[in-house]
Amino acid sequence: MMDDKQSEIDRMLADTRLFQNVYLNPGTGRCVNATEANAEANMRQYIADSPLLGLIWERETTYDGDGRFGFRVWWDDEGTKTRYGYIEIEMPGWELPRVRYMGEPGQNIWDFPRLYVDGASWIWKFAILDKRYFIPEE
C-alpha cells in the first residue's frame, strides 16, 4: 500500500515537472543577453511607428529588469498645446528584428518578446502608441 502511494506521488511530481516552463503569454520571459543600446534603438523605432506627432521619451532605469529597459513617454499635442502624462514602457533589449513584430511574411508571433506598456504585456504591433494611451475615454 505504501509503495502505491509513493508511486502516485512520484507520478504527480513527474507531471508537474513537465509544465514548469509553460507560459500563458509567450514572449513574457526574460530577454537574455539584452543591451540598453538595443533597447534605446528599439525605442526610436517604436516612437517612429506611432501615428502621434510630438512624442517625447526619456530613459527611466527604475523599470529595468529581465532584459527589458525602462522608458517614459509623453505626448505634446501641438494641435491643443497640451502635454499629456507619461506612459511607462519596458522595451526588450534585443536587436530590432527580434523585437518588432508587425505581422509581416516570415514573422512568427511566437518568436517575439513582449514589451510592457503601463504594466500590460503587448506584442509590438499591438502596442503602438495612439491617443487612447494618453486620453481616457469619455
- The residue type found at 132 is R
pLDDT by residue (tens digit) across 8-48? 666 655 555 555 555 567 788 999 999 999 999 999 999 99
Extract the C-alpha cell encoding 96.
530590432
The pTM for the full model equals: 0.79
CA atoms within 13 A on the CB side of 16: 5
Which residues make beta-bridge pairs with 117? 89, 120
Name the residue ranges covered by the structural domains of the chain. Answer: 2-134
28 Cβ contact partners less than 8 Å away, ≥ 6 residues apart: 113, 114, 121
- The residue type found at 118 is D
pLDDT exceeds cutoff 80 at 2: no
Residues 93-108, mean pLDDT to the nearest whole number:
97
pLDDT by residue (tens digit) across 42-65? 999 999 999 999 999 999 999 999
Q: E-assigned strands of the chain?
A: 55-59, 68-77, 82-92, 115-117, 120-122
